Amino acid sequence: MLELALTFFVIAVIAGFFGLSGIAGITMTIAKWLVLIFLVLAVVSLLL
């Protein structure tokens, strides 16, 4: 999941570099959500 978030982050950076702010914003939002889900699942797995 973290690898997928990193992929979306790279896509957002590349899209931002080329001036595609809409695509960059959407992919950055997806990357943020994936990182949050990863952190929640990591904490839950450590507690169990």
Question: Please, what are the averages of pLDDT over each run of 10 residues along the chain (48 residues)?
Answer: 88 91 91 93 94
Distance CA 39, CA 29 (A): 15
> Is the pTM of the predicted complex or chain greater than 0.85?
no
Residue 24 CB partners (closer than 8 Å, separation 6+)? 12, 13, 15, 16
